[in-house]
Each structure stands twice: as C-alpha cells, then as structure tokens.
A and B are shown apart, each in its own frame.
Chain A
C-alpha cells in the first residue's frame, strides 16, 4: 500500500515541504475515512437535495420568484452544508479519540487546521458545484455564467469554511458543539454570506462581471483575514 503522496520529496525535518505534505496527507486521510464511512457525505447530499427541492416547490413554478430567490436559497444550503462538514471534520477525531495523537505530533498545530480545511474544501467544492447545477436547473440560474458563479462559490465557501474549521476545532471537545457552532459561526461569517449572495444575485440578474468584481475583492479580503487569524489562533485554542 502506498500513501497518496508517495514520491513527494521526503522531508524528515519540519521544513515547508514537510508541513505541506502533512497537510495534504491529513486531508486525503480524512477524505478516505469519509468515503469509507459514507454517513456524513450522504447526509450532506440528502440535505442539499431536499432543501433545494422544497424551496423550488414552495416558490415556483413561475420563473421570476424562483430566479430572485435562487442566490439566497443556494447560500443557505451551502452555509448549512459547510457547518455540517466542519463539525464532521473534527468529529472524526473526537469519536475515535484520535485528536490527541494529532496534537502530540511534532511541530506546530497549524498543519492540523490547514489539513482539516483542505479536507472540507476537497469535499465541499464538488458538492457545492453539484448544488449549483441543481439550483441552476430548479431556480433558472443562468448556466452560461457558470464560471463566474463557480468563482463566487469558491471564494465564499473558502471564507465560510476557514472560520467554521476554526470554531469546529475550538468546540471539538465540548458537549453540545453542534448547537454552539452555528451560534458562534453565523455572527462572524455574515460579511462572507452577504458578499456571496450579492455577487450571485448580480450574476443571476445578468450584471457585467466588472460590477461583480467589487464583491469578489471583498470576499478575497475576508478570506485572507479569516484564514490568517484562524491559522494564528488555532494552536492557542487547541492547547490543553
């Protein structure tokens, strides 16, 4: 059996390549666990499908109200999906009692944060693309603007998941973490959700890309700020 990064430069120290290798390995290991377990993956897929269908039935069948509601519905689905997945990323460790092993690995603890975030992005982006296609079919989102829509999705999901991963790690060892996570998370990610919904609305209404780019820049700024702050604070909150 070979690990997925076999053949990568073998770094025995704690250099940058070694850290990246650990991050990628942790993400791929979690992906392997999730695919073998299937419970988390199927519940998120089912959640996306059920939510989009119910909202389409409730708001349809006229095109105009569906198209107007599409960005909000899509981002509610993505926000809840990401929250479910971030809880899941640490639940994998807490349920099996393996979080301590990760914490005792040599070097800083930032790699755990980035590994868990990468795991979520690897799983969430294909799921989000699927949700986008479902929303395009059910809510008349313009498919010819798929690339800018997907870009909005990547920027929004990254900002959301970066904070969600941080809080999921912070709450990992607490009972009632599933209740606490949305309470703490939603107040902080309002700017990301707002910018994502506005960018998606603009694209659905056929606004030129130049007018959307302000929202993308705002999303990019929030992504960088949230990623940096979370990566810096994560080792502190994981201490004992």
Chain B
C-alpha cells in the first residue's frame, strides 16, 4: 500500500468539498479522478499530498510524494536547468538534468518567463521523471500539451507505473481510459 485515505472529509467554511471518502493506491497502479469543475479533484489531490489537512479522516502515505499542480509552479526568473538543479538538491538527489531536458525538448538556459504553458508542463514532467517519487499526484497533466507532449506524458506515465503509484485528475476521458487501471468519479455535492 502506497497511499490510504480512510473516511476523508474536507470542509471549506460551510461547504463540504469531499465527504467520507476512502481510497487505497498500490504500487504499479494508475488511478484517474474524474468529475466536473468544483467536484473536489484538486482538493483531494492536495489532501493526498498532505498539503491540506482533512476535516475528518486519516491519510497514510508510505513513500515520497510529489504533486503536479495545474498550471505547474515555477520561479519565472530561473532557467529550466537551474530549476531542475535546485529541485534535485532540495530532494537530496545527485542526478544531472541534461538528459531530461533533451528528452522533453526543453531549452536549458531560457528563463521560465519565456516559456509557454506547454513548455512549462513538459518541464514539470521532466522534473517528475528526475525526482521520481513513489506517489505521483497529477492535476490535469494533459492540458496545454501538444501532440508530442502528450506522447511524452503517456511514456512518462508508463514509466511511473513500473515503480510508483499515480493518481491523476483529468477531464479527458480518453486519456483516463487509456492509462488508468481504475477511475474514481467525483460529483458536485
């Protein structure tokens, strides 16, 4: 078991965004979260990551966790290479970012304020493959990606499945059907 949610509920003010949800993620598994806007997909991912505290219930994680927000978060005054180097150092990993930059077709020395949304999404995927956490939490990873980027996403998810567990929130049912072992459908309360 990589991730277990037991009777999770989350309330913002008077509104319950997630109510009494239980869920388990195993290594080698890809789970897709589906649901309309406002159904609590991002909140659930943040609860899974430990970035939000549940109002009720428990979250157990058995491994390193990374959360890819939508849009991805980067410092715009750093270059892609600098960002990856700092990330690797903060995560105690001594890898080199060059291979990942080449693979994802990214210019290493361009400041990130000059990156398009799709390039930032590619950089976020490159970052994930370098840091390679046990639990991958991805919020709409397919948005802003072109055809080539989408193929890279599929390849990245296939790699992640071999050694880690993945939860991805998406509106793209085709993607969910293609990559996910099972889906979790959230509704608006």
The verdict on A240 contacting B52 (CB below 8 Å), with A1-B85, A3-B86, A98-B73 known, is yes
Which of A5, A22, A100 is B73 in contact with, Cβ under 8 Å?
A: A100
Say yes or no for B173: interface residue by CB 8 A criterion: no
Contact B50 A3 (CB under 8 A): no
Contact B78 A32 (CB under 8 A): yes
Contact A102 B73 (CB under 8 A): no
A96 CA to B74 CA in the complex, in Å? 6
Say yes or no for B6: interface residue by CB 8 A criterion: no
A98 CA to B109 CA in the complex, in Å? 20
Return chain A residues, CB-CB under 8 Å to B87.
101
Contact B74 A12 (CB under 8 A): no
* Distance of B36 from chain A, by nearest CB (Å): 23
Residue of A with least CB distance to B86: A29
Say yes or no for B11: interface residue by CB 8 A criterion: no
Contact A14 B92 (CB under 8 A): yes
Say yes or no for A25: interface residue by CB 8 A criterion: yes
Which of A10, A12, A32, A106 is most buried by chain B, counting CB atoms within 10 A of its CB? A106
Say yes or no for B1: interface residue by CB 8 A criterion: no
70-109 of chain A: CB within 8 A of chain B = 92, 96-98, 100-107
* Distance of B131 from chain A, by nearest CB (Å): 9
Write the B72-91 contact mask toward A (1 if CB under 8 angstroms, else 0).
01111111011001110111
Contact A240 B51 (CB under 8 A): yes
Which of A5, A11, A92, A97 is B69 in contact with, Cβ under 8 Å?
A: A97
Return chain B residues, CB-CB under 8 Å to A29.
78, 86
Say yes or no for A239: interface residue by CB 8 A criterion: yes
Say yes or no for A36: interface residue by CB 8 A criterion: yes
Contact B89 A3 (CB under 8 A): yes
Which of A11, A102, A240 is B53 in contact with, Cβ under 8 Å?
A: A240
* Distance of A98 from chain B, by nearest CB (Å): 5
A: contact size bracket? 20 to 34
The verdict on A22 contacting B74 (CB below 8 Å), with A100-B49, A100-B51 known, is no
A6 CA to B126 CA in the complex, in Å? 22
Contact B73 A97 (CB under 8 A): yes
Write the B137-178 contact mask toward A (1 if CB under 8 angstroms, else 0).
000000000000000000000000000000000000000000
Say yes or no for B179: interface residue by CB 8 A criterion: no
Say yes or no for B64: interface residue by CB 8 A criterion: yes
Contact B49 A104 (CB under 8 A): yes
* Distance of A40 from chain B, by nearest CB (Å): 12
Return chain B residues, CB-CB under 8 Å to A21.
89
The verdict on A239 contacting B53 (CB below 8 Å), with A3-B86, A36-B77, A106-B64 known, is yes
* Distance of A9 from chain B, by nearest CB (Å): 11
Which of B89, B94, B108 is most buried by chain A, counting CB atoms within 10 A of its CB? B89
A103 CA to B74 CA in the complex, in Å? 14
| B interface residues with partner A (beta carbon < 8 Å) | 49-53, 64-67, 69, 73-79, 81-82, 85-87, 89-94, 108-109
Q: Which 9 A-B pairs have the closest CB atoms?
A: A240-B53, A97-B73, A36-B77, A105-B90, A98-B73, A240-B52, A25-B89, A33-B77, A29-B86
Given contact pairs A104-B50, A106-B92, enumerate 13 new A-B contacts (beta carbons under 8 Å): A1-B82, A1-B109, A22-B90, A22-B92, A25-B89, A32-B78, A96-B73, A100-B67, A100-B73, A104-B49, A107-B92, A240-B51, A240-B53
| A interface residues with partner B (beta carbon < 8 Å) | 1, 3, 5, 10-14, 18, 21-22, 25-26, 29, 32-33, 36-37, 92, 96-98, 100-107, 239-240
